[in-house]
Structure 1
Amino acid sequence: MRHTELTMGRTFALAFADRDDFLTELARFCADMGIRQAIIPMFLGGFRRVGLVGTKGPLEDPEAPVWDETVLHTVEAVGAATLAWNPESNSLAPHVHVAVGRKDLEAAGAVSHLKWAEVQFIQEMYLQEVVSPVLLRPECGPHNIPTLTFT
């Protein structure tokens, strides 16, 4: 395990609108506000459609990451994230996980890494900027997984 003390900056409340592209709007907000790194301790609301990391059937290699996508419709969601900078792509690199419940299947749930989402009605989020240290998310290790590092 690695660790570092964080110096926090500004704190924001965000309310995403119906049909917003969740990650696009988050990236736009961060660009507009000059945010390159942050923590999102919590967000909640609904997604009309959501793409999560997941697959059917047995995993070919349980030790390897899964990049396949499963799509769910009409879900309630709660999640959290870290935002860091990807030095290879020179862009924001969000790492977002969600727990979702399908409205059409008695709130049957799924928990995974968020790949994309379209907001349904509203998503409410709290975002706290990290001033220091520098948070980076380069691709590391045997599987080239984007991994949080701090300098």
Structure 2
Amino acid sequence: MEYSQGSLGRIFVIRLSDGEDLIGSLDRFLAEKEVASGMILFLGALRRGRIVAGPRKPTIPPESPFVQDLEGGFETFGVATVYPGEGGGPKVHIHASFGRDDQAFTGCLRERGEAYLVVEVVVFEFLGLSARRVFDEESGLLLANLKERF
């Protein structure tokens, strides 16, 4: 187990309007406000998006992920972490649930997430963490690398 201790910094409340890209908007906002590490909570609806909903088999590294495209207006709520990446700037990792009528999906939001009507976002900035998102050879993923061991 790894960990890093820090403190709470600024808190931002954001409203995205219909048609705005959740991922791109967060990337730009975090860079502009210089939020290096933090946590994001959001709720609202997405008109379209793409998620990865697990691997076909639980291998390490994961292979052949289930990719699901969302189209048509899905209610959503989710959480994300933010840590500096290897190339500089904040890197966001989003997991969320999505529902429409009798369809429900949960997964890692990737590539796009276009707001439908509104998405409300709360960003909690973390200060003083020793955390970076780095490529992990064993898993093949970009993981949070924390300095302390427990």
TM-score using structure 2 length = 0.86
Give the aligned CA root-mean-square deviation in angstroms.
1.8
* 1:77-113 deviations in Å (ceiling 9; x for gaps): 00001001111x22321110000002xxx24211000
**Offset, 1:145:** 0.8
Instruction: Give the equivalent residue in structure 2 for 1:46.
Output: 45
Greater strand proportion: 2
Deviating runs (4+, > 4 A) in structure 1? none
TM-score using structure 1 length = 0.86
Q: What is the distance in 2 between the residues matched to 1:120 and 1:38? A: 25
Superposed, 1:1-151 pairs within 5 Å as 1-40=1-40, 42-54=41-53, 59=56, 61-63=57-59, 64-65=61-62, 66-67=64-65, 69-73=67-71, 74-87=73-86, 89-102=87-100, 106-115=101-110, 116-151=112-147
**Offset, 1:12:** 0.8
* SS of alignment partner, residue 27 of structure 2: helix
AA partner of residue 83 (structure 1): V
AA partner of residue 78 (structure 2): G
Q: What is the distance in 1 between the residues matched to 2:6 and 2:121? A: 20
AA partner of residue 94 (structure 2): V
Structure 2: stretches of 5+ with no match in the other structure = none
Structure 1: stretches of 5+ with no match in the other structure = none
Q: What is the distance in 2 between the residues matched to 1:32 and 1:62? A: 38
AA partner of residue 147 (structure 1): L
Count of residues in correspondence between the two structures: 143
Q: What is the distance in 1 between the residues matched to 2:30 and 2:96? A: 20
